[in-house]
Structure 1
């Protein structure tokens, strides 16, 4: 599989994503958004960072880049798409996934390790885990609070489209474990297809043994990225 990692002005996790995917023997190429997607694209990652400086609204300007029309078209054809952090904001702003991401409850940028409970293990991004399993990934965001209308929240619950929830180490979902005030502790959500997902935590920062061992993140992120194998 050849994964295209879409780089916008202000992206800063694109090389991290390429390195993490490469460590799993997954072919990955960083693509400048103005150049469009290569014909050989079999998977897409929209990485973290601060596209367009997060002016106007995080992810709003990048979501209107012409390349996102290509991303949406391939997503409809079943090509796996993963948006991480700023990529999650871009994904929600472009209509790939429901809801929106806004300013953290603390009104501060937060960088820490969090626990996540796997809510749906029957997706490419969670098939390495079991339902209810607790994993650990790092977050680094100022606008990571997931918001969604009650009616739409009911819909994604009933359709099993909540991918991860913030939780305690034992899997208990509590407000204390919710780092940014996300509605229903949602940390990751699926689009209309199970092959499209966005999440705030960074799997690419918890994939390499040497880095994961040194920063306490572990390598749980590898399980998420194996969707592109």
Structure 2
């Protein structure tokens, strides 16, 4: 399986993502420039964390206009997996590939810690290797991770089972304890916690590895059916 790790000016978690795929998962990973306009050679697209374009204007706002994001949009429309982590989640919100927006953490401070996460929906291509309602641990590192949406959008997220991960102990004020959501089709996931920083025991926890294993398992099953 070929994973594309998109690199924006200011990305700083791209190497973590690359390592998670190449070394921990054992699959093929490639760095892809924000200037790229064709992603057809890849089986999954990963938007890493960091501070794309210095987080000027709003986190992820400038990156949403990068040439590669039009290719990401086209890729997502084909039903292929797109994962955005932290700043990658913010970019997906800014492009409209996911609903809602990010605000500053409710206490207006940067958070960097490992936090308990609940797997709210294990019926997605990103979460199928977890147990339903399983409690896992993942690192977070953000100043603008306070997810917000209007009540109608929140009701739709719940109705369509789009809330994939929730905080067990909400650290930033996110509405509904939301830590990660997917689109209605289930092939685009945005999350603030960093699964790529929790893929081997040496990092203190390997709970994040199963997210990438979920992508791989579902990709193999899909290709087994269509081949």
What range describes the TM-score normalised by the shorter chain of this pair?
Answer: over 0.9
- Structure 2: give runs of 5+ residues left out of the alignment: 217-227
1:35 aligned counterpart, secondary structure: coil
Matches within 5 A, 1:91-170: 91-167=92-168
2:45 aligned counterpart, secondary structure: strand
Q: CA deviation at 1:41?
A: 1.1
Matching of residue 194 in structure 1 with residue 181 in structure 2: no
CA offsets, 1:54-109, max 9 Å, x none?
00000000011121111011111011000000000001111111111110001011
CA offsets, 1:162-210, max 9 Å, x none?
011100xxxxxxxxx1100000100000012211100000000000222
- Number of residues of Structure 1 aligned to a counterpart in Structure 2: 215
Distance 2:178 2:39 in 1: 33
2:31 aligned counterpart, secondary structure: strand
1:127 aligned counterpart, secondary structure: coil
| 1:220 corresponding residue in structure 2 | 207
| 1:215 corresponding residue in structure 2 | none
Matching of residue 51 in structure 1 with residue 63 in structure 2: no
Distance 2:207 2:38 in 1: 28
The answer as to whether partners of 1:121 and 1:131 remain within 8 angstroms in 2 is yes
Q: Which residue among 183, 201, 205 is the counterpart of 2:175?
A: 183
Q: CA deviation at 1:228?
A: 3.3
Distance 1:225 1:37 in 2: 23
| 1:3 corresponding residue in structure 2 | 3
The answer as to whether partners of 2:148 and 2:175 remain within 8 angstroms in 1 is yes
TM-score normalized with structure 1 length? 0.91
The answer as to whether partners of 1:85 and 1:141 remain within 8 angstroms in 2 is yes
- Structure 1: give runs of 5+ residues left out of the alignment: 168-176, 213-217
Q: CA deviation at 1:36?
A: 3.1
The answer as to whether partners of 2:120 and 2:164 remain within 8 angstroms in 1 is yes
Matching of residue 75 in structure 1 with residue 84 in structure 2: no
TM-score normalized with structure 2 length? 0.92
Large movers: runs of 4+ above 6 Å: none
| 1:12 corresponding residue in structure 2 | 12
| 1:174 corresponding residue in structure 2 | none
CA offsets, 1:105-157, max 9 Å, x none?
01011001111111110011110111111010000000000000001100110
